[in-house]
Amino acid sequence: MIHGFSLYINLYRIPPHLSICSEHNPMSLTRFRTQSHQSTSTRKFTIENTQRVTYMHNLCPYCNQQATGTEMHILLQCPGTKRVANDLIATLSKLLERSHQRTWNSLILYQQTSIIFADPPTTLTKQFHHTWLHATLHHILTYIAALETHMYNMPRTM
């Protein structure tokens, strides 16, 4: 049986692998990873005409593409937020190349999103995961903080 306090401690503690980078707070990344970020419209409970809005009808509020505002769209495809990711993508591309992994452009969208969410590339052996996190986490947390600020300051199209 799990006790209430024990459950609270485990649910609300930052995982050790996200605590490597002490100069940034990983909570923004954690909110994106758990799909509980206020700026990601697909997870909000909205009622319109006493009907729950379906997933596919939650459009991105940052662009006029009529695309579903998923985390993948907001992180990598949305014209309104894409320019914020350019520095991170350049850094991740160099690190992928140096570690003899597939190039950034050869990865599918899900793999790119996973790497931005601080997961090591799937082809990287486990012995190098900690090194990968040390090399990337600072850049990822900086990007997520900049993206969060950018989204809060952006006018919404809807």
Q: Taking the domains of the chain in order of start, what are their residue ranges?
A: 27-153
Structure token digits, residue 55: 């997933």
Hey, what amino acid is at 110?
A: Y
- Measured between alpha carbons, how far is 63 from 70 in angstroms, rounded to an integer? 12
SS3 at position 100: coil
Q: Considering the chain, what is the average pLDDT of its residues? A: 75
Residue 132 near residue 120 (C-beta atoms within 8 A):
yes
pLDDT digits (tens, 9 = 90+) for 28-76: 666 666 555 555 554 445 555 555 556 666 778 778 888 877 778 888 8
The pLDDT assigned to 43 comes to 46
Task: Give the predicted TM-score (pTM) of the model.
Answer: 0.70
Judging by beta carbons within 10 Å of its beta carbon (0-12, 13-18, 19+), is residue 116 exposed, middle or buried? buried
